Amino acid sequence: MNAEKRAAIFNRLRIAIPNPSTELEYQSTFELLIAVILSAQATDKSVNIATRKLFAVANTPEKIAALDAEGLEPYIKTIGLYHAKAKNVVACCKQLIDLHAGAVPNTREALEALPGVGRKTANVILNTAFGQPTIAVDTHLFRLGNRTKLATGKNVQQVEQKYLKTIPKAFLQDAHHLLILHGRYTCTARNPKCGECCIVDLCEYRDKVIPTPHLMAGDAATNMTDPLNTTSKEPT
């Protein structure tokens, strides 16, 4: 895929998704960090349901650390792997208090040293909270990169590096959220909605189903007014 096509893809995505952002609910960088840790192998919707209750009573490292794992679990028990996540979140909060005066650090090294925080979570925080041009490769970005040929690779690290090397600089800041939203609602795993896709003619997916012109025109108009197809969202 050449640079001209890449730029065209991201330009169309930016038009279709004018305000790309995370769908996790948060009011502070700390709340975002906890929400992202909890979101591993869970949907944003399930995390938001849990954190609405949790953050209403405990939204600082000190308050969550005071709950301890047993006190935290009832708030997050609807989220997968909640036993392990409760331990990690409490340990993370204690480390934030001990090493960072309760503040979320803004460097990769410090973030990845926190319990429950890996490279993907660190990338999300660096990008969303601190405005750094990082790419957090989750299942959507991995699938999208290999399917469209935007960033091919056999593992997450290869795909991340390919994205970083090839995404036009003008789009690098928003690329993560543009791609994750497109992958979540349009370029879905089992049944990609090629007929609703704003980049269908640029995508290099060999099994894509290109709609007939008259259908494409109608669907494109719908897609531009409702780019995330919010009237018929699939579970994330």
Catalytic machinery residues: 120, 138
Check: CB of residue 55 under 8 Å from CB of residue 27.
yes
- The pair of three-digit structure tokens given for residue 161, joined into one six-digit string: 């590096």
Segments in 61-192 forming alpha helices (H):
61-76, 82-100, 108-112, 119-128, 139-148, 156-166, 172-185
- Quote the CA–CA distance of 20 and 47 in Å, as a whole number: 19
Summarize the chain as % helix, strand, coil (round to 5): 60, 0, 40
